[in-house]
Structure 1
Amino acid sequence: MYDEKRACPRVVFHAEARLAGADQFFDGSMEDLSRRGIFVATAQELAVNDVVRITVLNTPILDLEAKVVRCTDRGIGLQFDGALYN
């Protein structure tokens, strides 16, 4: 049995997104949503602490701001500026 140790447990979530960094725009697939962040699968390379603007596609307009907290060969871990919901 898996015991979740995260402060904000993740939930399965899939959506396409458009992200905007300092001088770049790119697409990604959002996964593993929590109150504080999300993983975005993308080939785009970013650095930890880069700030991105996320637009969730195919939804009513939803824009979020987040900071890169982890980079992997599969994508980036993002932390929201504040909790997604209270």
Structure 2
Amino acid sequence: MAGGWASDGAVQEQIDSSIEDAVARARSQLPRGESLHHCEECDAPIPQARREAIKGVRLCVACQAAEDKANAAGAGYNRRASKDSQLR
């Protein structure tokens, strides 16, 4: 049941939209193209097994872990706050 300005199903629409945005963001960050033989950050060799497992890989494991950690800091931000929560 919706209350105030929200329509029926508004909460589910917000959840669905947030999930769609997260999936689109994850897909846009997938590597594409041919894998590099050396990391573009530190120039360390990228193992053959990693290049075969992840097509288009551009970073070594250590640099990828550091990048993933840095990108995780901004995750979870709800930019679609309902009008009710903005009024509180």
**TM-score interval w.r.t. the shorter chain?**
under 0.3
User: Which structure has the greater CA radius of gyration?
Assistant: 2
Q: TM-score, normalised by structure 2?
A: 0.25
Q: TM-score, normalised by structure 1?
A: 0.26
- Whichever structure has more helix as a proportion of its residues is 2
